Structure 1
Amino acid sequence: MPRNLRVATVNVNGIRAAARKGMAGWLDAADVDILTLQEVRGEREHLDAALPGWTILEDVALQKGRAGVAIASRLEPTASRTTLGDDALESNGRWLEADFEVEGERVTVVSAYVFTGEVDTPKQEQKWAFLDAMSTRLPELAAEGAHAVVTGDLNVGHRELDIKNWKGNVKKAGFLPRERAYFDRWLGEKGAEITGVDGTTGTGLGWVDVGRRFHGDVPGPYTWWSQRGQAFDTDTGWRIDYQLATPPLAERVRAYRVDRHASYAERWTDHAPVVVDYAF
C-alpha cells in the first residue's frame, strides 16, 4: 500500500488565539503529517503549548507580534532553511523550508506568508520584492524533478474564480494584475513564453496549483473571509491560501479539501485550513 502524506496549511491569525478558540479539536480530527502555519505571532513556548508532541521548526519576524511562520510535523525533518532573496529583502518570519524523507524520497515543504501589500506604499514595494525572490527560488526548488510544495497564505487571488467580489477589487492589493501575473508565470507551461494578465511576458515555471487542478474552473473554494459584515455567512471569500507543487509531486495528489468552519461562531481563525493528500 502507498504511504499517504497529508500536508495541511493554515494562517492561524495568532497561535495563542487559535489554540484558545479550538484549533486542537480540528487538528485531532484532521490526522495531519505535516502542518504549515503562517502569522504565528508568538514565541516558541506558544507553539509548544499549542502543538504538544510535534516536531516544530519556526522562523520568527524581526518585529515582535507580527508575521511568523512554522512547520510542525510527525516526521523528523532532515534539513531546514529560512533564506529567501538577498539581505535587502525583509523575509524574516515569512519563508521556511523543510526537507523530509518519505519512502526513500526527499520532499521539500515550504511555509510562506507573502506580504499583504497596499497600493502605492512601501508595503507594496516589499511585496513586489518578495514575489521577485519567490520567482528566483521556485526554479531552484523544482530542479531535477524534485518533490516540493510551497504552502501558505500567498495573499494573491490568482484568477477571477478566486475572489467572490473580484470586480470590486481589481485595483486593490491582492488582486492587482501585476500580482496575478506572477502566478501566471509560476503556473504557466515550463519554458514557454507566458503573457500575464497585466500584459507582460515571461517564462513559465511549470508549477501546479493543486487546488485549481483538483476542483477545476469553479468559484473558490475560498480560504479567507473578512471579519466585517456577513462575509463568512454569505461565502464572500478569497482563495489566497495555496499548495503549489512541482509536477512530480502534483501527480501524487489523491485528495484536496478546504476545512471551512461549520459556522462563524466556531471559527478559530479567519482562514480555513487547506489539506492535501500525497501518495508515495
Structure 2
Amino acid sequence: MKIITYNVNGIRSASTKNFFGWLQSTDADMVCLQEVKAMPEQIPEIIALIESLGYHHYWFCAEKKGYSGVALLTKIKPLHVEYGCGEEWIDKEGRILRADFEDFSLMSVYLPSGSSGDERQAKKYVFMDFFEQYITNLRLTHPNLIISGDYNICHSAIDIHNPKSNAKSSGFLPEERAWMDLLVGSGLTDTFRHFNKDPHHYTWWSYRAGSRAKNLGWRIDYHLTTPPMLERLKNVRILPDAIHSDHCPVLLELESKT
C-alpha cells in the first residue's frame, strides 16, 4: 500500500503543473493533501479528474476562501470520515481530517505556521498543546494511526540546511523541537528517520535565492505512526523531483496486513 502526504500550496496551482499526471504515475492508494486552498464546489474540473483516477475524496476546508484546508484521496472507501477535531478555531482553519479503515486510521494534518509573527506563533503553540492531547486521547480508541502532513517544524539539526542561522526561526525553535521530542517519546515513529539517518533530505524550500536548486531546505512534512503500525512499515521516500509546490511529497509504503 502506498500513502503520500503532500502540501500542494494550492490544488489549482498544482494542477497546472501536471500534478494529476504525476499522481497517476505514482499509483498511490491514499493521498493526504494540505493547503489545498479551494473548496470542492470551486473546482468541478479537478474533482472530475480526481474521480476519473479512481479516488474517493474528502475535503475539510477553511472558512476563509483561498486559505489552508486539507483533503484525503483514497481508492479504498473509508468506514468513517471525521471532519475536524471539535476545537472551533482549528476547525475554522481546516487543519485536521481523518479517515478510518478496517485496520488503521489515516489523518491529514496541517499545523499553523508561526513565521508571520508573534501572534501566529502563539496560536501555533496553542495548536501544538491541543493536538498532543488530542492524539493521546484518540490513540485510546484508534490505536492504529498514521498521522501525515505538514507539521511546519524541523525536529533535529539534521532536518534543516543551516541549523545555526535558523536557531531563532519559527519552525526550528527549541519549544517546537521539544514538542516533536514529546510526540516521538510518546511512541510515535518518524517513519522517514526509521529508514534513513542521512542529512540533506528536505521537503520544503523557500522560493527565494534558488533555495531548491541548491537544496537549502527544511524537512517539515512527516508520516508519524503509532507502535502497532511499526511492523507494517516497508519504506519511506521523499520525492524531491515532484515539483508542483514549494513542498515535495513523502511516500510511505506499508506491508499488507496478514
What TM-score do the two structures reach when normalised by structure 2? 0.92
For the 8 Å contact 1:157–1:239, the answer to whether it is kept is: yes
* Equivalence for 2:66: 65
In the TM superposition, 1:128-277 aligns within 5 A as 128-143=125-140, 146-188=143-185, 205-216=186-197, 218-261=198-241, 267-277=243-253
Cα-to-partner distance string for 1:215-251 (whole Å, 9 max, x where unaligned): 02x2142111111112111111100000000011122
Return the offset for 1:182.
0.6
For the 8 Å contact 1:112–1:150, the answer to whether it is kept is: yes
Return the offset for 1:185.
0.6
* Equivalence for 1:7: 3
For the 8 Å contact 2:200–2:215, the answer to whether it is kept is: no
Number of aligned pairs?
251
Return the offset for 1:120.
5.6
| Whole-Å separation in 2 of the counterparts to 1:226 and 1:83 | 29
| Whole-Å separation in 1 of the counterparts to 2:92 and 2:23 | 28
Return the offset for 1:144.
6.4
| Whole-Å separation in 2 of the counterparts to 1:90 and 1:109 | 17
Cα-to-partner distance string for 1:13-72 (whole Å, 9 max, x where unaligned): 100110111111221111101100000001204251452332111100011100010000
| Whole-Å separation in 1 of the counterparts to 2:89 and 2:9 | 26
For the 8 Å contact 1:113–1:153, the answer to whether it is kept is: yes
More helix by share: 2
Letter in 1 for 2:51: P
Q: Residue 89 and residue 70 in structure 1: after superposition, are their counterparts in 2 closer, same or farther (change >3 A)?
A: closer
Return the offset for 1:211.
0.6
Alignment RMSD (CA, Å): 1.7
In the TM superposition, structure 1's runs of 4+ consecutive aligned residues that sit over 6 Å from their partners are: none
| Whole-Å separation in 1 of the counterparts to 2:14 and 2:39 | 14
What SS class does the counterpart of residue 209 from structure 2 fall into?
Answer: coil
Could you tell me which runs of 5 or more consecutive residues in structure 1 were left unpaired when the two chains were aligned.
189-204
* Equivalence for 1:81: 82
| Whole-Å separation in 1 of the counterparts to 2:49 and 2:66 | 17
Q: Which moved more, 1:48-57 or 1:86-95?
A: 86-95
| Whole-Å separation in 2 of the counterparts to 1:214 and 1:187 | 15
Q: Residue 145 and residue 16 in structure 1: after superposition, are their counterparts in 2 closer, same or farther (change >3 A)?
A: closer
Return the offset for 1:91.
5.3
Return the offset for 1:168.
1.1
* Equivalence for 2:111: 114
Matched-pair identity in %: 36
What TM-score do the two structures reach when normalised by structure 1? 0.85
For the 8 Å contact 2:70–2:96, the answer to whether it is kept is: yes
